[in-house]
């Protein structure tokens, strides 16, 4: 991601947070990933269940279990990120590419849509909501459209 000169200081801080989060994912560093979330965040990510909350958090252990399903590095690119921030609440949206090889040999190379919501907690921006999605084909097959590219 490229930080632009037109970003506000808060938008720049959020940009750095997103970059650090993506770096932690690429490095399979679950501790660094969870450090960016607020205590009571809600996640709508691609893996079941429908939502993760404080009561059923993906947590560090869940993320480490997911990392164990990858053979080697996870590629993660963030494109077209847009950030809007006020004094203590912000959101971003982007198109993200994830690629790599799963432990069963499956090759993954897919684009997804991501929206992140942030709140300033004790002076630091934290992710309070994450929503990932891929479109699906509306031809009756309901198959995820993981072959789309921007």
Pairing of strands 124-133, 37-44: parallel
- Give me 119's structure tokens: 């709140």
Indicate whether 54 belongs to any domain.
yes
Closest CA to 39 of 123, 124, 128, 117: 128
Indicate whether 21 belongs to any domain.
yes
Indicate whether 140 belongs to any domain.
no
Report d(CA 150, CA 131) in Å as an integer: 19
Q: Inform me whether the pLDDT recorded for 96 exceeds 60.
A: yes
Q: What is the CATH number of the domain that holds 122?
A: 3.10.450.50
pLDDT at residue number 61:
84
Indicate the helix (H) or strand (E) that contains 63.
helix 59-67
The structure tokens 């269940």 sit at 49
pLDDT at residue number 1:
55
Indicate whether 36 belongs to any domain.
yes
Indicate whether 139 belongs to any domain.
no
Report d(CA 96, CA 131) in Å as an integer: 12
**Domain span holding position 45:** 9-133
Indicate whether 62 belongs to any domain.
yes
- pLDDT, tens digit, 9 for 90 and up, residues 45-90: 888 888 888 777 777 888 899 999 999 999 999 999 999 999 999 9
Indicate whether 42 belongs to any domain.
yes
pTM of the full predicted structure? 0.90
* Count of domains for the chain: 1
């Amino acid at each position: 991601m490229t930080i632009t000169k037109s970003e506000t200081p808060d938008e720049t801080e959020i940009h750095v947070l997103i970059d650090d989060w993506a770096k932690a994912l690429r490095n399979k560093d679950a501790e660094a990933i969870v450090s960016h979330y607020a205590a009571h965040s809600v996640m709508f990510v691609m893996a079941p269940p429908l939502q993760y909350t404080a009561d059923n958090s993906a947590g560090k252990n869940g993320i480490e279990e997911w990392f164990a399903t990858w053979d080697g590095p996870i590629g993660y690119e963030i494109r077209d990120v847009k950030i809007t921030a006020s004094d203590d609440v912000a959101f971003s949206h982007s198109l993200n590419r994830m690629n790599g090889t799963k432990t069963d040999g499956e090759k993954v190379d897919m684009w997804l849509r991501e929206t992140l919501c942030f709140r300033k907690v004790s002076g630091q921006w934290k992710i309070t909501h994450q929503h990932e999605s891929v479109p699906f084909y509306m031809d009756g097959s309901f198959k995820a459209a993981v072959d789309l590219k921007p």
